[in-house]
Amino acid sequence: MMSARDKCIYFISLHRTGLTVSLLTAALLLYPLYEDNPYTLGITNLIAINTMVVLGLNLFIGYTGQISLGHAAFFGLGAYGSAISTATYGLSPWPAMLLVALLVGLVALLIGVPILRLSGHYLAMATLGFNFVVHSVLLEWDEMTGGPSGFSGIPYLGVGDFSFDNEVRLHYLLWGFTLMGLLLSLNLVRSGVGRGLAALAEDETAAAALGVNTRNAKIKVFVLSAVMASIAGSLFAHCYTFISPDSFGIFTSTDMVIMVVVGGMGSIWGSLFGAGLLTLLPEVIGIFETYKDFVHGIILVLVLMFLPQGLVTGLVDMVRVRLALRRREAQ
């Protein structure tokens, strides 16, 4: 018979993912009661948006073992898509968001099919090029996007008469979406499909020999991550009601990749951690504001030198290897 304590430990270990998600949800539900400073909430809201992009990107980089330096493009297409369809053409925001996500998914599919034949540096260059193209279009197509001066007058999201127009309301909206993304990603990586992706990231030949359709899997995850970035972009547009091409350049893309790498490749929780850390850092230490790219670069180099799998994944791996080695010695 198991003692009550053993049962409790067994229950926790069996449901650890569900329990962690529930705890996080509870903490986020209560957070605005404790913290009502709009500035602080604005920062945590930005973490939510970044986390959503980073989750998708981490599925692509960490789990599938590919690289994309162009995800800010999908983020921007989502934001401008929602902005133009609602403010210019008067579409209702929710269906617009869905429609834009579908279209961005289609774009990702169209460019994914040819460029995912590439790998490594070539794939990085191709995605970077795509980001450049999208960024230039956003800058140059004045009559549609407002050009360098940006696009304003985007409506808030709402349900009936209720409108998500202040930080507390946006907090619930954005974190609701992010938690949904987190849960779906956690489910994905804990399934047979997710194991196939993890296998693909480590050894493509072996994964194919085990029945993983490597080409399709890469494209599917690429499209999925683009759709997630697009939804995050739409939320970004409706949250700030103003967007400009600056937010969707290649430096945003590299920041997203840095968040993935710092948080941890192939770690869903690491995505949350990486997005949180890199969004908070410039706020916590004022000097970062000016030297943001410089500091991000240093962090990236340090992480890649000492924990190439990223902070969370690297540390978890280290502990697991240590434990296993100790048991191996003991035998």
Partner 1 sequence: MLQLMSVCKNFGGLPALGHVSFQVPHGRVTALIGPNGAGKSTLINCITGVLSATSGSVLFKGKEIAGQPAHAISRLGISRTFQNLRLFPRLSVLDNVLTGLTCEGGQSMAMAMLRLPYLRHRERQLKLRALEALDRFGLSDKSSWPAGVLAYGDKKRVELARATVGQPDLLLLDEPVAGLNGEETFVVGEQLKHLRRAGHTLLLVEHDMDLVMRIADQVVVLDSGRCIAAGTPEEVRRNPLVLEAYLGRMEAVA
Which residues form the interface with partner 1 (CB under 8 A)? Answer: 184-185, 187-188, 190-196, 198-199, 202-203, 205-214, 220-221, 224, 309, 317, 320-321, 324-325, 327-328
Pick 225 or 279: Cβ nearer partner 1: 225
CB 131 → partner 1: shortest distance, Å? 25
CB 299 → partner 1: shortest distance, Å? 23
Name the region of 243 (left: φ>0; alpha: ψ -120 to 50; beta: rest). beta
Pick 41 or 217: Cβ nearer partner 1: 217
Pick 222 or 248: Cβ nearer partner 1: 222
Pick 220 or 292: Cβ nearer partner 1: 220
Q: What is the C-alpha to C-alpha distance for residues 300 and 308, in angstroms, rounded to an integer?
A: 9
Pick 298 or 325: Cβ nearer partner 1: 325
CB 326 → partner 1: shortest distance, Å? 10
Return the residue matching tokens 């230039």.
Answer: 136
Tokens in use for 289?
């504001």
CB 305 → partner 1: shortest distance, Å? 19
CB 199 → partner 1: shortest distance, Å? 5
CB 130 → partner 1: shortest distance, Å? 23
Pick 203 or 246: Cβ nearer partner 1: 203
Pick 93 or 266: Cβ nearer partner 1: 266
The answer to whether the CB of 105 falls within 8 A of the CB of 282 is no
Nearest one of 57, 94, 96 to 75, comparing CA atoms:
57
- Side-chain-side CA neighbours of 244 within 13 Å: the count stands at 4
Pick 54 or 212: Cβ nearer partner 1: 212
Tokens in use for 3?
């003692």
User: Which of helix, strand or coil describes residue 158?
Assistant: strand
CB 224 → partner 1: shortest distance, Å? 7
DSSP class of 149: G
CB 114 → partner 1: shortest distance, Å? 18
Nearest one of 67, 17, 41 to 269, comparing CA atoms:
17
Nearest one of 83, 121, 24, 59 to 271, comparing CA atoms:
59
CB 203 → partner 1: shortest distance, Å? 5
Pick 184 or 250: Cβ nearer partner 1: 184
Q: Which long-range contacts (CB under 8 A, 24 or more apart) does 45-49 make?
A: 45/167, 45/170, 45/171, 45/174, 45/175, 45/239, 46/279, 47/275, 47/276, 47/279, 47/280, 48/171, 48/174, 48/175, 48/177, 48/178, 49/174, 49/178, 49/232, 49/235, 49/236, 49/239
Q: What is the C-alpha to C-alpha distance for residues 241 and 155, in angstroms, rounded to an integer?
A: 6
**What Rg, from alpha-carbon coordinates, does the chain have?**
21
Task: Quickly count: other Cβ atoms within 10 Å of residue 300's Cβ.
Answer: 17
